[in-house]
Amino acid sequence: MLLAAVRDEFLERAWDPPGRHWPASAADLIGGRDRTGHGTWLAVRPGGARRSGAAVAALLNGVRLPAPAYGARPTRGGLPLTVLAGGPDLDVDDLAGYDGFHLLRADADGAVVWTWDGAELSRLDLPPGDHIIVNAGVDRTDSALVEHFGPRLAALPAPDPRSGRDTLAAWGSWLDLLRGDGLPGDDPRALIVRRTFVTDSGDELVYGSSSASLVAIGRDDAVRFDFTAHPADPQWYEVS
């Protein structure tokens, strides 16, 4: 199982790089931590973890629902931790308060994507092959990004991400593609995005690609997890 993931977020939102940030609830898991909601956008369960074998989970935001009449909606960042540290499935009865999302869980045997739109929960088991997931869903042919990067991803030679090799040797031409294929950050096809929004009060907020991850999980439960905090000018390292 090979996964390349880019996180897009407002750049002023603080976060921590991958680590074991949840010792009380999910001590085995390694992932970046959002300091606002204390959840994650992507987490890895290493091979040999006490709960079960190696796996990865990643979250993409879906539809944002109207604000509730009182209180706040729960953070979607807890969901990757839930499907790695808890049971193998999601229960629709536990999702009533959440905004929409697409949640990927994958291991060497397969991958599943749950989609929640605020009313219904669907599950899609991905067949073997290449897939691209964006905020609109899985393999969307109406996505300019999917249309641009799908053929390019399919044409890449398979990487050899054995642990201990440097990132370039391990991932090869995947690294070139993850730099964004030369597209500007405001292009509808862009993988590495950067857009500026002006609020009603005149403040400027920059939304952009704030990190990227590469994850490989072998049938022998071996895991490799590489990370960069600067996708546009990456300095990759293997997460320990």
| Mean pLDDT, residues 65-75 taken together | 78
d(CA 150, CA 181): 12
Confidence bin at 188 (pLDDT 50/70/90) = very high
Coil/strand/helix, residue 157: coil
Domains of the chain by residue range: 2-234
Class for domain 2-234, per CATH? alpha beta
Q: Are 236 and 175 in contact (CB under 8 A)?
A: yes
CA distances from 4 to 133, 201, 215, 226 (A): 10, 37, 7, 10
Render pLDDT for 102-142 as a digit per residue (tens, 0 to 9): 999 999 999 999 999 988 999 999 999 999 999 999 999 99
7, pLDDT greater than 80: yes
Distance of CA 38 to the CA centre of its chain: 16
Which pLDDT value is given to residue 50? 53
Residue 168 burial (CB count, 10 A): 12
What proportion of the chain, given as a percentage, has pLDDT over 70?
A: 97
Render pLDDT for 38-53 as a digit per residue (tens, 0 to 9): 999 999 999 865 557 8
Confidence bin at 144 (pLDDT 50/70/90) = very high
Which pLDDT value is given to residue 47? 80
Q: Are 111 and 126 in contact (CB under 8 A)?
A: yes
89, pLDDT greater than 90: no
